[in-house]
Amino acid sequence: MTNQTSKKNVFIWSPFTSKIGTTQNIINNSYSLVKYSYDHQFNIKIINAFGEWDNYTNELKKKKIDIHNFKLIRFLKNWKKVGFFKSRFVYFIIFLLSFIPMFFLIKKNKPDFLIIHLITSLPLIIFSVFNFKTKLILHMAGHPKLNFMRKTVLKIASKKVFKVICPSNELKDILINENIFDDKQISVIEDSHIEIKKIQYLKKIKIEDDFFRDTKVLISIGRMTKQKDYNFLIKNFKKLSIKYSDIKLLIIGDGEEKNSLINLIKKLNLENKIKLLNYEPNIYKYLSRSNFYISTSIWEGSSLAMIDAAFIGIPILCSDCPSGRKEFIGNDERGFIYKQGNDEDFLKKFSIMYSKKPENIKDVLVNAKKETKKFTLFKNFLSFQALLKY
């Protein structure tokens, strides 16, 4: 793969308080470097701030990815972190208690690269204050809210950032237009997600559930937060269920809005039509038995679940929210897009998608599956190898 023989030490900072897609993306990115690099060129270590990575220990060990523990703040692992304000409070505590361990980790270990994903303000501030030989790589996901405080931190730290990774050209343009980073600093690298053999195996696992019997299932996957706008989806599904008596809705995820969504479902008398499932490690067995993938997000990243749906081969309907998803869908070549928050357009686009005969939608599904090649582990390895060759 490469003529370089010297090993590069790569540390990864991504503390999380709930199960999110970013965690698996980080594992996949790391594994691609371990799996495909010549002579194990990269030593990968994920920083385990407070025990959040403990449940992934076996998987990481099998994939030859190391863990570095911040032992002093592990008491945070048992804190209940559900809810917007509670989770933000925990982020603040993580920031305060990780500052010194992070400083000494970089000073003592002198890694070649530090890739940061979540609670990025901590390493950004440390690198702004102190001089390290370690190259700092900022991995930005989705469509971050660039409020005054975040923009200020990013602009101050921008000179100390070696590279910025974006999942879409749309986000890259935003960062350039906001005068936060220079064009040469930014690389667009799609998330590493598709493992063909793994997906082929997982989708065949049986589901003992009558919910899928004699019906057409709409499936949506993601955390139950304001961002996903499941209120919009459920209210409009009520209208769809009147017109199409053979459909049901499955939402897989968890989050602070779950109870309010349950109440909404009861209020609309949709208990027999809508099912909510908690976080599910194997979404492929559900996707392969569903008929349509729906995403109603207000803002979003490249949407890994949408990419999974494209690979499985089911039609996609998603909002035109700020994200890289419009790049994936294109001009309806690989799916259907409606105007975010617009009831009428959502219902119209769903009707178009629903009424398409298999022979008339075949090209859309084929084009979507072809596009998922950008999200394979090997494609991700090639992109990261080029980035880390410096």
Q: DSSP string spanning 187-232?
A: EE-PPP-B-HHHHHHHTTS----GGGTTSEEEEEES-SSGGGTHHH
Contact 254, 223 (CB under 8 A): yes
**Closest listed residue to residue 296, CA positions, set 239, 231, 355:** 231
Verify that 221 and 367 share a domain, yes or no: yes
**Closest listed residue to residue 98, CA positions, set 80, 110, 116:** 116
Verify that 81 and 230 share a domain, yes or no: no
Cβ neighbours for 340, distance < 8 A, ≥ 6 positions apart: 229, 296, 297, 298, 319, 320, 321
**CA 277, CA 22: separation in Å to the nearest integer?**
20
Indicate whether 3 belongs to any domain.
no
Cβ neighbours for 244, distance < 8 A, ≥ 6 positions apart: 216, 354
**CA 251, CA 247: separation in Å to the nearest integer?**
13
Verify that 102 and 162 share a domain, yes or no: yes
**CA 260, CA 244: separation in Å to the nearest integer?**
25
Verify that 277 and 167 share a domain, yes or no: no
**CA 246, CA 299: separation in Å to the nearest integer?**
30
Torsion of the alpha carbons at 43, 44, 48 and 52, rounded to the nearest 10: -150
Secondary structure class of 23 (helix, strand, coil): helix
> Distance between the two ends of the chain, CA-based, in angstroms?
16
Indicate whether 81 belongs to any domain.
yes
Verify that 224 and 360 share a domain, yes or no: yes
Verify that 179 and 205 share a domain, yes or no: no
Q: How many domains does the chain have?
A: 2
Cβ neighbours for 169, distance < 8 A, ≥ 6 positions apart: 188, 324, 327
Verify that 124 and 73 share a domain, yes or no: yes
Indicate whether 2 belongs to any domain.
no
- CATH number for the domain that contains residue 203: 3.40.50.2000
Contact 45, 110 (CB under 8 A): no
Q: Which two tokens stand for residue 161?
A: 């950032």
Verify that 188 and 295 share a domain, yes or no: no
Indicate whether 1 belongs to any domain.
no
Q: What is the CA radius of gyration of the chain?
A: 21
Verify that 125 and 264 share a domain, yes or no: no
Bridge partners, 293 (sequence order): 219, 316
**CA 187, CA 333: separation in Å to the nearest integer?**
25
pLDDT per residue of the chain (390 residues) written in tens, 0 to 9: 444 457 899 999 999 877 677 788 899 999 999 999 877 789 999 999 989 999 899 999 999 999 999 976 666 666 655 566 677 788 888 899 999 999 999 999 999 999 999 899 999 999 999 999 999 999 987 667 788 888 888 999 999 999 999 988 888 888 898 889 989 999 999 887 888 889 999 999 999 888 999 999 999 999 899 999 999 999 999 999 999 999 999 999 988 899 999 999 999 999 999 999 998 889 999 999 999 999 999 987 667 899 999 999 999 999 998 877 788 898 889 999 999 999 999 999 999 999 998 888 999 999 999 999 989 999 999 999 888 876
Indicate whether 358 belongs to any domain.
yes
Verify that 235 and 356 share a domain, yes or no: yes
Verify that 178 and 211 share a domain, yes or no: no
Verify that 176 and 225 share a domain, yes or no: no
Contact 381, 28 (CB under 8 A): no
Indicate whether 62 belongs to any domain.
yes
Q: Which two tokens stand for residue 254?
A: 């968890």
Residue numbers of the domain that contains 48: 8-192+375-387
Give the β-pairing of 42-48 and 66-69: parallel
**Closest listed residue to residue 42, CA positions, set 385, 354, 387, 390:** 385
